[in-house]
Structure 1
Amino acid sequence: MQQPDTLSLVIITGMSGAGKTVAMQSFEDLGYFCVDNMPPSLLPKFWELVKESGKITKIALVIDLRSRAFYDEIISMLSSVDNSNFVSTKILFLDASNEELVSRYKETRRSHPLAMEGRLMDGILKERELLAEMRSRAQLVIDTSDLSPRQLREEIFDNFKVSDNPTFHLEIMSFGFKYGLPIDADIVMDVRFLPNPYYVPAYRNKTGLDKPVYDYVMAQPTTEEFYTRYLDLLRLIMPGYVNEGKTSMTIAIGCTGGQHRSVAIASRLAKDLGKEYPVDVTHRDMSKRKETVNRS
């Protein structure tokens, strides 16, 4: 396997309760391969697997330093990584004030990993002491004391998002109302007001992917005006969803059986919106009527 020229590695560490879980989820949405709390002893083997695969180019490792021995292993691992031409490393350190960390632990009623049988504040101070050198090594320190999870996510996106690698994508789905609404849809449009090709004998057993059916749907007097206005509406609102931190949207187009009209409209939407966003298109119910006929 051909290995990537450079592997981008982000070490996510910091104070327990400072937001590492939110950070990991954010990096997943940025397309990173994320690993939570891998023991340092397994990292050499992990690197070998990554090199051999040649497919992973971005990794985020979440590391909690819960003992001095574990900490020493991590420092040793980072030293070896820093000397490698294969890996480009950044350390993201998440911090928060002692008062805020105490408040968060009280709210969740969880025990601090370094204060299982002692005072919460003792555990926080001990962890802060252990992490002092790691904090000084970090290329980016984010204080989450006054940040909501959404604001932390935005901060990470601002610092690690690659402009030529868009994270927002669209899922466009056609479906038939007779088979039920798709529960994962964010936006649903009903196109049953358009004339139904099912009642044209020559088109009954075809689908909206077949050119005669597609052309029939698009040639209807109301189709072009509807489609143009609907496309303009989607183009108007999509940037708002991006700004709100959404990483994907599912747009569902429904007709009666999910075979003709919805398939044609969904296919055209995927083509047009695909010029602006990454798009996946699926036709959930397109073949269900045929399957039912074949079983009868």
Structure 2
Amino acid sequence: MVSESAPSRQRILLVTGMLGAGKSTALRELEDLGWESIDNFPIRLLDRLLGGDTSGHPLAIGFDCRTRGFVPAEVIEEVKALSGRDDLEITTLFLDCAGHELTRRFDETRRRHFLARDLPVPAGIKAERELLAPMRRWADVLIDTTDFTTNDLKQRIRDQFGQTSPREMTVTVSSFGFSRGMPPATDLVFDMRFLDNPHWQPGLKELTGLDAPVAEYIASNPVFESSFARMRDLLLELLPQYAAQGKSYVNIAFGCTGGRHRSVFTAELMAQALREGGFSPTVLHRNLGSRAAELVEGSKAP
């Protein structure tokens, strides 16, 4: 007898809490983790939103005291009813923060508290805390952001919800020529001009770092192997740390004088080393198609 596998359940995360506690930051981070997100959603329409096809990406829904007709007791009852469905897995996240810190954040951004009206910010925070008390008690997950930086909150969201939709960091390895300008938005730059320049070797000028004769010439340099090994080991140590910090993109660039020989060969070799280390880098050669020119390469000295 062949047993049928149970239908998959769509994950629904309701994100609420105190104004200024970090709801927008949490929703943006969830979006980066692969969740679909809706902010400031009229929570009274939740049943209608989830009434159709619920297959697909996990969904994060943000709402707070500004929602029209927001009554915590009614929201809780509606979510309880929806939680009985076999196709949904609903979790509620409540973001809290101490009053003094919320006051500081409102003062810093010069925003008015929605419930303060013509009263001081602390009065609005007090009214909001009383309104949201049932939601706070009922929430499945509580995160207090009083002592959090923005990065701290992002890290907590990744730790708590990232395993649902793991995000792969995008790694780009590129080559370029210093004489043609530095590339923009590069995280790590390695200058390969300490190696002898193949441009000045007979028969190598018109070739590039993708050609075997150039590769053999560069690799034969006595310092290349040990220098490359140090760069490789450094990158294999740093990239997991960047990923742990939630960095979405890491751009690694190798430069030489004209961007056609040393940088191209090293970038290709490093990309292969990173693949062997478990990464999937994209390789770009900015100046590979540029014309070989003495004016660009400068003097015979590297």
Q: Give your verdict on TM over 0.5.
A: yes
- State the shift of 1:76 in Å: 7.0
Structure 1 residue identity aligned to 2:235: L
Residues 1:281 and 1:70: Cα distance change in structure 2 (over 3 Å): same
- 1:181 is matched with 182
- 1:162 is matched with 163
- 1:33 is matched with 36
Aligned counterparts of 1:77 and 1:127: Cα–Cα separation in 2: 21
Unaligned runs of 5+ in 2: 1-6, 294-302
- State the shift of 1:7 in Å: 3.1
- How many residues align? The count is 285
Residues 1:10 and 1:173: Cα distance change in structure 2 (over 3 Å): farther
Aligned counterparts of 2:33 and 2:119: Cα–Cα separation in 1: 38
Aligned counterparts of 2:118 and 2:77: Cα–Cα separation in 1: 30
- 1:87 is matched with 88
Aligned counterparts of 1:68 and 1:36: Cα–Cα separation in 2: 14
Q: CA RMSD in A?
A: 3.5
Residues 1:96 and 1:280: Cα distance change in structure 2 (over 3 Å): same
Per the alignment, in what secondary structure is the counterpart of residue 69 of structure 1?
Answer: coil
Aligned counterparts of 1:251 and 1:47: Cα–Cα separation in 2: 46
Structure 2 residue identity aligned to 1:194: L
Residues 1:211 and 1:165: Cα distance change in structure 2 (over 3 Å): farther
- CA shift digits 1:14-66 (9 cap, x unpaired): 10011223323432443433333244448856885874xx5xx2333332231
Aligned counterparts of 1:89 and 1:81: Cα–Cα separation in 2: 8
- After TM superposition, the structure 1 = structure 2 runs for residues 128-143 of structure 1, keeping only pairs within 5 Å, are 128-143=129-144
- Bigger fraction of residues in helix: 1
TM-score of the pair, normalised by structure 2: 0.76
Deviates most, 82-91 or 68-77 = 68-77
Per the alignment, in what secondary structure is the counterpart of residue 112 of structure 1?
Answer: coil
- 1:11 is matched with 14
- CA shift digits 1:215-236 (9 cap, x unpaired): 4433443321211121122234
Larger Rg: 2
Identity of aligned residues (%): 37
- After TM superposition, the structure 1 = structure 2 runs for residues 233-248 of structure 1, keeping only pairs within 5 Å, are 233-242=234-243, 246-248=247-249
- State the shift of 1:137 in Å: 3.1
Aligned counterparts of 1:275 and 1:130: Cα–Cα separation in 2: 55
Aligned counterparts of 2:216 and 2:164: Cα–Cα separation in 1: 37
Aligned counterparts of 2:181 and 2:88: Cα–Cα separation in 1: 49
Aligned counterparts of 1:154 and 1:117: Cα–Cα separation in 2: 36
Per the alignment, in what secondary structure is the counterpart of residue 161 of structure 1?
Answer: helix
Deviates most, 209-218 or 6-15 = 209-218
Unaligned runs of 5+ in 1: none
- 1:20 is matched with 23
TM-score of the pair, normalised by structure 1: 0.78
